[in-house]
Amino acid sequence: MSEAYAATARWTPANIGSVVAGFILFWPAGILILFYVLSGGDMARAFNRSREWVSNMFNRATATNETTGNSAFDAYREETMNRLKEEQRAFGDFMERLRRARDQEEFERFMAERRNSRPS
């Protein structure tokens, strides 16, 4: 290894852990991470940049309060989202009633078995 590579490599705990994990999980990934660190890269910074990028993409994809500029489409989208929220609430209520009915049936079956198994 040349001194230029050694001078630029920063062996932080994140870099060491990333190289070790890379070799354990999939050795070609370990080699790529090792070369990245030797070239002066910092895995902690790379991880934070990746996390921010994913977060920004998710926020952009889920932003519903932005307008598209087409008022007819915005109204349609708002109406559809409200309908879907109402359907989601109704389905949650249905599932709760279904759970309660199942629990009641199981309880009644238990009580019937208990009454029948008592020695008289």
Q: Please tell me whether residues 8 and 44 are part of one structural domain.
A: yes
Q: Please tell me whether residues 49 and 101 are part of one structural domain.
A: no
Range of lowest pLDDT (3-7, 96-100, 101-105, 107-111) = 3-7
Domain interval for residue 31? 1-63
pLDDT for 4-63, tens place per residue? 444 556 777 877 887 888 888 888 877 877 777 777 777 667 777 778 888 888 777 666
Q: Do residues 42 and 12 touch, judged by C-beta distance below 8 A?
A: yes
Q: Please tell me whether residues 1 and 59 are part of one structural domain.
A: yes
pLDDT value for 65: 65
Output helix, strand, coil percentages for the chain, rounded to the nearest 5. 80, 0, 20
Report yes or no on whether pTM surpasses 0.85.
no
Strands, E, within 13-113: which ranges?
none
